[in-house]
């Protein structure tokens, strides 16, 4: 997988769609199926956790259409996921107190499990296929080919409360690095 030239991808602008999230509590009692086989209630995760939401990843045989690339903030889900994979593997997030990284999209867990194996993700992905969590938390969404997708944002959540929001996230392959910088400043 080649990293796109981010200079050729339109950058998203901050439209305020995540302003309400900072210092809010995550919606409780919404267990989401995960690639571990067990449901995860994001609001009940203990300690400091990083939860990133992304629209969708392409399948191995899918050709990403130019229309997708032209949507600000759409392109880069796999590079974002891999940035967290690398930070987890290096122990960087754990060193700064992060207990868990979780990625979330509307794609089903079977699809997410394939992605996890294909790119070697070392953390769980959860599926909000019915958008129950996204709607309850008023996360930003977008439409793509008749499907509502969650727009890219990253949350630092401590004891169920959002303590930091990254939105928009661009370039997405720098998402984990931005989180690490914040963790260092916070310490």
What pLDDT does residue 63 have? 87
**pLDDT one-digit tens code per residue, 75-98:** 999 999 999 999 999 999 999 999
In a domain, 14, yes or no: no
**pLDDT one-digit tens code per residue, 107-161:** 999 999 999 999 999 999 999 999 999 999 999 999 999 999 999 999 999 999 9
Whichever domain contains 108, its CATH number is 3.40.30.10
In a domain, 108, yes or no: yes
- Rounded to 10 degrees, what is the CA torsion of 36, 37, 40, 45? -40
In a domain, 13, yes or no: no
In a domain, 9, yes or no: no
Q: How many CA atoms lie within 13 A of 147 on its CB side?
A: 12
What pLDDT does residue 62 have? 86
Give the residue from 121, 119, 52 showing the smallest Cα distance to 88: 121
What pLDDT does residue 64 have? 84
What pLDDT does residue 2 have? 63
What pLDDT does residue 124 have? 98
| pTM (predicted TM-score) | 0.96
In a domain, 7, yes or no: no
| Domain encompassing residue 46 | 24-186
In a domain, 18, yes or no: no
In a domain, 88, yes or no: yes
Query: What is d(CA 32, CA 71) in angstroms, rounded to the nearest whole number?
Result: 27
In a domain, 10, yes or no: no
* 161-166, strands of its sheet edge to edge: 124-127, 98-105, 48-53, 153-158, 161-166
CB-CB neighbours of 19 under 10 Å:
10
**pLDDT one-digit tens code per residue, 62-74:** 888 889 989 999 9
Number of domains, the chain: 1
**pLDDT one-digit tens code per residue, 1-50:** 567 789 888 999 999 999 999 999 999 999 999 999 999 999 999 999 99
């Amino acid at each position: 997988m080649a990293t796109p030239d981010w200079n050729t991808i339109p950058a998203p602008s901050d439209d305020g769609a995540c302003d309400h999230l900072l210092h809010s509590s995550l919606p409780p009692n919404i267990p989401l199926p995960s690639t571990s086989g067990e449901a995860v209630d994001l609001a009940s995760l203990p300690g400091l956790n990083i939860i990133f939401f992304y629209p969708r990843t392409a399948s191995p045989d899918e050709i990403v259409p130019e229309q997708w690339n032209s949507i600000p903030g759409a392109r880069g889900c796999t590079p974002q996921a891999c940035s967290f994979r690398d930070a987890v593997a290096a122990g960087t997030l754990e060193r700064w107190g992060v207990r868990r990284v979780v990625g979330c999209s509307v794609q089903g867990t079977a699809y997410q499990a394939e992605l996890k194996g294909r790119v070697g993700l070392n953390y769980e992905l959860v599926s909000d296929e019915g958008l129950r969590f996204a709607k309850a938390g008023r996360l930003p969404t977008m439409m793509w080919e008749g499907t509502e997708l969650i727009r890219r944002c990253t949350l630092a959540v401590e004891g169920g409360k959002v303590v930091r929001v990254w939105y928009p996230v661009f370039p997405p392959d720098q998402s984990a690095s931005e989180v690490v910088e914040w963790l260092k400043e916070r310490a």
